[in-house]
Amino acid sequence: MKFTQSCRLDKTRFYVVGAGLFTGVSVALYPVSVVKTRLQVATKDAVERNVFSVAKGLLKTDGIPGLYRGFGTVITGAIPARIIFLSTLETTKVTAFRMLEPFRLSETSQAAIANGVAGMTSSLFAQSVFVPIDVVSQKLMVQGYSGHSQYSGGLDVVRKVLRTDGIRGLYRGFGLSVITYAPASAVWWASYGSSQRFIWRFLDHGAKYDEVAPSMQKIMLVQATGGIIAGATSSCITTPLDTIKTRLQVMGHENRSSIKQVAKDLINEDGWRGFYRGFGPRFFSMSAWGTSMILTYEYLKRVCSKDE
C-alpha cells in the first residue's frame, strides 16, 4: 500500500484550525490528567488512593472546576508548544522518509523508523516550552492535596518558584521530561506508523489502494485503532519515568529530592507497583488522547492541504 509521505499545507489554516481542534480535545481529556497527577503524588497516608476517590474528592470540594485546575496555564502554553511540535514533526518526517529510501526497507519498518525519529525530534523541541507549563500546571493540580502548597493561580506559582529556585525551578525535571516524553513520542509515532500499515495489510488493501480507495469511515477506523495501539504501547513503557518526573516537579523548595530518592520512596510505599501509580488514567489518557489527536491531525492535513 502506498501512502503519500507529504502534502503541501496551508500553514496559517493548519495552525489556526488546529489550535481550535486541539483545545477542544484538551478540554475533554484534561480531568484525566488531573486525577493521574494526584494519584502519582499521593503519600502513603493519603485517603484518596484510587481514581474514583480522587475524582469524587475534587468534585465534592470544588465541583467541576476542580477537575480543571491549571487548565488555563496549559492552554496558554500548549498553543506555541503544539505549533513547534507539529512543524518539527512534519518537516522531520518528510526528511526521514527521504533518507531511508536508499535502504529499501519494508514499508512497515520505514514507517516505524521515520515516524519514530520525527516524534522524538518534535518532542525534544517542544519540551523547551512545555516543561515550565507542566511544572506550573501540575503544582496547581495537586495544591492542597497530600500537604502540597496552595496557590492563587498560575502567576502566583511562577512568582514563588522564581523566588525560591530561580529560572531553574521552572525547568525542574527537564532532563527527566526529555527522557520520558521523547521516547514516549518516538514509541507512539513508531507504533502508530507501523500498526497502521500492518492493519491495512491485514485488511488486504495492499496494491488495491491506489485503484479503489477505501471509504473515509474505514480510513478513520484504521487511524483510530493505530492511535489506541500507539497510546497503549507508549504508556506501558514510560509510566514509571512519568511518575518520578511528576513527583520531582511538584515538590516544594524545602522538600527537594533526587531521582534516586524519589524512586526509593515509591518502592518503600508501594513496592515496584509504585512506579505505575496513575497507570489506569495515563493508559486511558494516552490512548484516548492519541486516538483523538491522530484523527484531528489527519483531518487537519486533509482540510488544509493545497491543490498542486
Return the CATH number at 216: 1.50.40.10
CA distance 56 to 169: 31
CA distance 214 to 306: 22
305 three-state secondary structure: strand
At residue 212 the predicted structure's pLDDT band, cuts being 50, 70 and 90, is low
Provide the 10 A C-beta neighbour count for residue 13.
14
CA distance 62 to 40: 20
Give residue 215's pLDDT.
82
Assess if residue 270 is contained within a domain: yes
CA angle (233, 133, 151) in 5-degree steps? 120
pLDDT at 14 over 80: no
Length of the chain: 308
At residue 63 the predicted structure's pLDDT band, cuts being 50, 70 and 90, is very high
The overall average pLDDT reported for the chain is 84
Residue carrying C-alpha cell 497527577: 37
Question: What tens digit of pLDDT does each residue of 68-108 get?
Answer: 999 999 888 877 888 888 888 888 988 999 999 999 898 88
User: How many folded domains does the chain comprise?
Assistant: 1
As a whole number, mean pLDDT of residues 52-58 equals 89
Which amino acid is present at 43? Answer: T
Assess if residue 30 is contained within a domain: yes
CA distance 195 to 227: 9
Give residue 209's pLDDT.
44
Assess if residue 44 is contained within a domain: yes
**Predicted structure pTM score:** 0.76
Assess if residue 4 is contained within a domain: no
Domain that includes residue 231, residue range = 11-304
DSSP string, 2-69: -------B-HHHHHHHHHHHHHHHHHHHHHHHHHHHHHHH--TT-S--SHHHHHHHHHHHH-GGGGGT
Assess if residue 111 is contained within a domain: yes
As a whole number, mean pLDDT of residues 278-300 equals 82
Give residue 254's pLDDT.
66
